[in-house]
Structure 1
């Protein structure tokens, strides 16, 4: 994730900020320029970008719900920003807890959309494009004894459904422990489910299908039967030699989605480190520079080997930092050689799809 600076006072800003803590200026993220802008109101309801003069309107979820900090270019007639227009269903906001959970979901969803925009991937709302993307944020029904009342997080035909309970840290940790998962986050869910969507968009009917099948396996294998087998017998004993996670071993689609999500983890975390000017060499001292190296942008890097070269030492540093604070590893993954090659193929598809 990029770092930003206030257009009025040059104070350091972060992606989620809606107001500068130094000068008090209102802020809004403008996806047309991929920048967090200081803005000031005009009498006609528009907002002008300080020092730029470009005119914007606040996203409806920014203006009315405080659940977004994105802007809409003034000529654009839409009520919602490019991220919020992807919503097909939101939870009942008359329930107080739903408000908090929905806001947490929206914050992580915007990180996903940011990555998609940085990679210049298609991201049109499904109600505007038959191949577009939509999100349903749903809550479990009160009759919790009935499994049919529970919302299942997943993807189908361009619609990503998210159980809002995933935004509850207590519930998410309970599920992580129950499923014996080393890693479970809201952003991870978004990235994983987006992988299923981009399989349909970039792989299913295009020239990449052959190379993907060769690398990830037979996607024609019965999906339900494969998952039933996985949940009954677990992953193969040597799964870490071939897959990024145990769940990835269940079916080619899940292997692709898990690897796609991991690629997004990589480039976004590398961008954050790059923006902070952090350089890590496991054989030397970590270096913190005042300015990032302009020659390295993880989202635009053509050379996948350069990403891996930066990534592996950084994960060692991340885990060491976490241990110093008494936490578990931030990066509980092992990148075996076949996994690296799968990530390389995802990189090629993301940049050439």
Structure 2
């Protein structure tokens, strides 16, 4: 069984001068080479650009690559399209269906932050070989992001998912506003990337669980998703589940099986990307657990048989180290969660579902890739006032 071909998301090298560069970079600080992320290779390429913006990759002088059409302000996308691609937008930008009104300077800043977080999300999904088509390519099974601004207090813009459409209130990209909401909701953790990971978890429940052979096992671990969703949320906000920490990763996860799945999906992405980043820096903790051997960071491979053990022995010590570092710098815990056995079992199940779907052992709910590829992508539209 082949493992997922993970590459380092957080550390790359400039192909021209071998200086360290990062996932978000658009140019090398050391040699001024143009940089671009190549989705097909999951790596950063180094380029020279002529006056017309035509890219030539160095040092192999590969030609024909193009920047994503969103490479200029306000998005500054650094992804690169292949010479044989008919699209103008990269795979991540294609999933944006509605963007905020750009006449407002704050909205332009928010859209930049949201797209940067979505590219990180898209990278992780691509590295696991999970299909992530835009609705413009696959209207029935694809995903679309609507980034909306709330301008009327009487008409709330709620972050959520509905049949592949993920809506995000752009106020979540305002750090001060998001922190205010986090405090009001008494949440230990609230990030822009975390929102996207949670909502895409709902999307993959439809693609990986609904109507598949996994439904019975899902209900054993998470509960029966056929329970009234609106009533469950109302009950949660009026009287949260007591003792939730013994079975759930967050209080919100206890509200309904769908939310439990989405919260666990987001945390699975958190820990995998965290482990990958730590591994790319060569992190080794010699004193993580007194009296025991060193902890060497590495992502959980797709063929890992004992996911629960790997989380406990590798991720938990590393997350404790991250929290200790954050406290020493005067910040809050970066990972303020505990992992009861019930949550470990849920994370292992998500790992198993992804692996089986990618390998084709359990069919996923996607349309024909050939048919979807023939549908032209449409550019995002500017949102109206809500």
Q: 1:320 matched to which residue of 2?
A: 324
Supply the distance in 2 between the matched residues of 1:279 and 1:15 (Cα, whole angstroms): 22
Query: Quick one: distance in 2 between partners of 1:31 and 1:288?
Result: 34
Alignment of 1:176-191 (within 5 A): 176-191=182-197
Shift in Å, 1:279: 1.7
Cα distance in 1 between the residues matched to 2:291 and 2:29: 33
Q: 1:51 Cα shift?
A: 2.1
Other structure's SS at 1:249 match: helix
Are 2:315 and 1:311 equivalent residues in the alignment?
A: yes
Alpha-carbon separation, structure 2, partners of 1:36 and 1:182:
34
CA positional deviation for 1:5? 0.3
Comparing 33-42 with 62-71, which one deviates more in the overlay? 62-71
Alignment of 1:350 onto 2:354 = yes
* Larger deviation, residues 246-255 vs 85-94: 85-94
Map 1:214-225; keep pairs closer than 5 Å: 214-225=220-231
Q: Which of 249, 257, 260 is residue 265 of structure 2 equivalent to? A: 260
2:144 corresponds to 1:134: yes
Distance in 2 separating the partners of 1:330 and 1:45:
40
Contact 1:227 1:251 in 2 (8 A): yes
The normalised TM-score by structure 1 is 0.93
Matched, 1:213 2:219: yes
Report which structure shows greater RCO (CA 8 Å, sep ≥6).
2
Moved more, 301-310 or 99-108: 301-310
Distance 1:46 1:218 in 2: 53
**Paired residue for 2:122, among 87, 93, 113?**
113
3-state SS, counterpart of residue 61 of structure 1:
coil
SS at match of 1:128: coil
1:76 matches 2:82: no
Report the CA distance between 1:322 and its aligned residue. Answer: 1.1
- Consecutive unaligned residues of structure 1, counting only runs of 5 or more, are none
Distance 1:59 1:288, change over 3 A: farther
Paired residues for 1:22-37 under 5 Å: 22-37=30-45
Gaps of 5+ in 2: 1-8, 358-386
Question: Do structure 1's residue 231 and structure 2's residue 240 form an aligned pair?
Answer: no
Which residue matches 1:302? 304
The SS at the match of 2:71 is helix
Instruction: Say how many residue pairs are matched.
Output: 344
User: Could you tell me which residue of structure 2 aligns to residue 339 of structure 1?
Assistant: 343
Equivalent-residue separation in structure 2 for 1:208 and 1:299 (angstroms): 21
Q: Which deviates further from its counterpart, 302-311 or 32-41? A: 302-311
Determine if contact 1:3/1:14 at 8 Å carries over to the other structure: yes
Task: Calculate the aligned-residue CA RMSD, in Å.
Answer: 2.1
* Secondary structure class of the residue paired with 2:106: helix
The answer (yes or no) to whether the contact 1:279–1:287 under 8 Å persists in 2 is no
Give 1:50-65 correspondences, 5 Å limit.
Answer: 50-54=58-62, 55-63=64-72, 65=74
CA distance in 2 between counterparts of 1:110 and 1:299 reads: 22
Distance 1:344 1:3 in 2: 27
2:98 to 85, 89, 104: 89
The two structures have a TM-score, normalised by structure 2, of: 0.85
Shift of 1:200: 0.3
